[in-house]
Structures are given as C-alpha cells and as structure tokens.
Structure 1
Amino acid sequence: MTYPSPVILVGLGEMGGVFARGFLRAGYPVYPVTRNTDLSQTAQLIPQPQLVLLATGEQDLHPLLKHIPEHWRTRLVLLQNELLPKDWQQHDLDNPTVISVWFEKKPGQDFKVIIPSPVYGPQAQVIADSLGSLSIPVRVLKDKASLLFELVRKNLYILTSNIAGIKVGGNVGQLWEQHHELAESVASEVLELQAFLSAEELPQAHLINAMVEAFDNDPEHQCMGRSAPGRLQRALEIADRAGLDVPVLRQIQKLY
C-alpha cells in the first residue's frame, strides 16, 4: 500500500487550521512548521512533500521565501492577501500554486464562505479537493491571466473596503449603498496602484463589478479592520514610487 506524501504547513493560525483540516480529511498527513522550526532540517526529513503551504501573514512572506529549501520551491502554495505575481517572481519562483482565499476564519467561530476561492497552479486540484472535503467551494482557474484578475479583485476588495472604511466605518453593504461615490473613487485609485504593481492594463469596470459581487454576498462584512491604517500607508508609499496623485487616498490619510 502506498500512502500520500505529507503536506508541510508553515503557519499555524486560524487560516492554517482550516487548511490542515481539509488536508487531513482528504487523506494527507500534515507536518506543521512553526516560526522556530529549522526549514532546512525539515526539508532533510521530508524532501518531497505533496506541497508546502505558506499560511503566514503578508509581512512574513518575503523573509520566508528567501529561506525556502531548494527542493521545496516547485511545491509552494501561497495564500496571502495583497499578493501579485511580482511577489513570487522576485524570488525566482515561476509557477507556485496560488489561492485567493474568500472564506473567513475568526477565533472561536467556524469558517464563513463569501464566494468560491479561485486557485491556480500545479497543486490546484489538491487544494480544491482538500477544501472541498469541508464544503468550501473552490474554482480551479485555467491560466495565469485569470489568476492575475482574481488576485487584483481580492486586493481591490480589501483595500477599497479598508481604506474607505477609515472615513465612513460601517460594513461593505452600507459603503456601496450609502457612500457609493467615495467607494468608486477609492477603488479607481487602488486600481491605478494595482496596474502599476502588475505592469498590466486592467479591466477596471469588470474588476469593480467583481468586487461588488463579493460585497453583495456578505454585505454585513465590516469595512475597517485593524490592518486598515497599515494598508493605506503601504498604498501611499506605492503611489509615491509610481508618481501617482491618488488625491482621495491622501485626503483619507489626513483623518489620522
């Protein structure tokens, strides 16, 4: 009898826990990795895992990618917010598996699905089957262009709701219904930043409609989390590098 190769899970937070449950239900052994784990030693013990899921926060991704063992590099799965192809390409990673996560997991509560989570890459079907075992819907994408669209869509959703929420608070349903002009203005400036970062011309109207679909599926989702000020600050730093005006974002910054 042959057994499935193990999954390496880097990051044991709320999101990592959901994925761990899915992998275990799908029959994959899960090997957890904490901040204090020596990755090179783990790679010697498990040189050929099924995949290596990096379930850390955005701020930990780049330091982690610098130290990924060589023979794990073709098996990576990324799920961070504010992710774009440049984030893995700068580490000479050509084709990781990437999922845009559209379910929430908060302490003491089970996961909550907003819309199906799109995934692309060599391990896409493993991810789809594993999350599917928990009844979390996943869409396997056909190409890299579709992945870019979905990553920008998620970034647009997070940045627009967080940054506009600094000014008006409330939830995304209220944001779109009661502060429509502000939301569209913030979204337009966010898309300018996303176009600069991705070096691509983006379908603005299509992306805004896709963002609104997510708003409509969970209108009670709160706009402003604790990460909102940091996201605004990073957005303005990108605007400065790109030479973009983004006047609405700069006006919101003055509220602090």
Structure 2
Amino acid sequence: MSEVVVIGLGQLGRVFAGGLLRSGHTVVPVNRGDDMFTVAHAHPEPSLVLVSVAENDFHTVLAAMPGAWRPHAALIQNELLPRDWEKYRYTDPTVISVWFEKKKGTDAKSLIASPVAGPGAALLCRALTSIDLPCREVAPGDALLFELVRKNVTILTTNLAGLKTGGTVSQLWAQHEVFARQVANEVMAIQDALTGVAHDREKLITGMLEAFDGDPDHGCTGRSAPARLARAIAHADEFGLAVPTLRSLAR
C-alpha cells in the first residue's frame, strides 16, 4: 500500500485520513509537536503529503516542509490562492477546495463536489468518494484558480455580510441581496488584485449561489469573521482599494 502523510489530524485531517485508509493507503500522521524531518527520514517517498493544519499554522508548515516531501505536497486551506504556495517555491502542488464541513460529533456534510487539481487529484478523489463525499478533478491553472476564488468569495461574502445581517445564507440572499452583492463585489475586487486576474463576477456569484443551495441553512458568520474582515481590509489597503462597504462593517 502506498503511504500518504497527513500533517494535522484535526476534524478535516481525520476525514481525509479515513478516506485514504478506506481507499487502500497507509496513513502516516504528523501531529503538532512532531518533527517533520524525523518523519520524512523514515518515510522519504510518500505518494502525497497532505497539509491539513489550522489557518494560523499553514504558512509555518509550508515554509518548514522537508525538501523530499515538497514535490508531493497537497494543500487544503480557506482563502488559499497561488501566491500562498508560490512564495515558498512550490511549483505544482495538488490543491483541493473543500466543500464539506466536519464538526465535532457529527459526520462530514457535503455542500457540493470538492474540486481538486494537480498530480494527486485522482488519489484524493478516490479517497473522498470512498467515504461518500463527492469530488471532481479540474485542470491546474485557470480552472483551479476560478475554484479557489469562488470558495473565497463565498466564505468572505457570507462571513463579512453576516457580521451585519446574521442569519443563514438563504436568508442573506432572500432578504439582503443588494447588501450581499455590495460585499461580494468588494471581495471580488480584492480577489482580482490578489490574483492579477479580472474574474467573471456573475459566474462567481452563480457559483456562490450553487453553494448556498447545497446548504441553505448554513449560518453566515462565525468566530473567524472579524479576523477575515481585518485581513480583507489589509489586502484592500495593500492595493489601494476603497471597499467602503467592508470599511463600514469594521466601524
């Protein structure tokens, strides 16, 4: 059986580990506090190295990953964009935009099929579908970039708009569509600046609404929303974007 290293065995990492085991792989765990170089010495040629750590640890892990593992890296993270891995000179990682959630004490719940691109895409899709979580392969490059931006727009629009409206995603669109579009347009302007690409905004809105339909009772906001707002405004400042709606939320 081929080995897959899983860095981070939180809620999400355990879902992937279960799918990998179910699909016939040996899972090599790396927990907080483990030395990656020690594990890499014992397991130098895994089929994949899945980085499923918390947001605050993500860049630290990418920067510190042993060289032998880097060609096999597979990345999961919210607000992920190519610049996040390119700064550490990863050239062709496997990247998955996860559209299921796993909370403590509940089974994983899928909203829509999770798109994945890169050398390990087929392996990850087999793992997820083996535990009844839909997955689809997309091409690296433009197709993957659209999927990452679509996820970012969905998360940021719902989280940031929800700071004012509360409620669920279906209520956000049914009762506050004009406001939600204002937030979404400013979020999309930031994503355009971060990626250097002018994305099709109506296509992104359509993609966001598809996710809403997948879980209409999903709550808009959560504990991470204030930090996401601060990060969005920092990005806007970096590129000289006005984003008046987002700044009003910060006030």
- TM-score bin, normalised by smaller chain: over 0.9
Match for residue 66 of structure 1? 63
Match for residue 243 of structure 1? 240
Gaps of at least 5 residues in structure 1 are none
Deviation at 1:64, TM superposition (A): 0.8
For 1:59 and 1:121, the matched residues in 2 are separated by 24
Match for residue 215 of structure 1? 212
Paired residue type of 1:173: S
For 1:22 and 1:243, the matched residues in 2 are separated by 44
- Which of 192, 198, 201 is the equivalent residue of 1:201? 198
Structure 1 residue ranges, 4+ long, deviating more than 2 angstroms after superposition: none
Q: State whether residues 8 and 33 of structure 1, in contact with CA within 8 Å, keep that contact through their aligned partners in structure 2.
A: yes
Answer yes or no: is 1:155 the counterpart of 2:152. yes
Match for residue 185 of structure 1? 182
For 2:218 and 2:156, the matched residues in 1 are separated by 14
Q: State whether residues 183 and 245 of structure 2, in contact with CA within 8 Å, keep that contact through their aligned partners in structure 1.
A: yes
CA distances 1:121-151 after superposition (whole Å, capped 9, x unpaired): 0000000001110011101002311000000
Deviation at 1:50, TM superposition (A): 1.1
Matches within 5 A, 1:135-146: 135-146=132-143
- Which of 85, 106, 125 is the equivalent residue of 1:88? 85
Paired residue type of 1:47: P
Answer yes or no: is 1:125 the counterpart of 2:122. yes
Length-normalised TM-score, structure 1: 0.97
- Which of 152, 156, 161 is the equivalent residue of 1:164? 161
For 2:139 and 2:78, the matched residues in 1 are separated by 21
For 2:22 and 2:33, the matched residues in 1 are separated by 27
For 1:35 and 1:233, the matched residues in 2 are separated by 27
Q: CA RMSD in A?
A: 0.7
- Which of 3, 12, 16 is the equivalent residue of 2:13? 16
For 1:8 and 1:30, the matched residues in 2 are separated by 6
Paired residue type of 1:14: Q
Gaps of at least 5 residues in structure 2 are none
CA distances 1:183-202 after superposition (whole Å, capped 9, x unpaired): 00000000000011111111
- Which of 17, 24, 29 is the equivalent residue of 2:26? 29
Alignment coverage as a number of residue pairs: 251
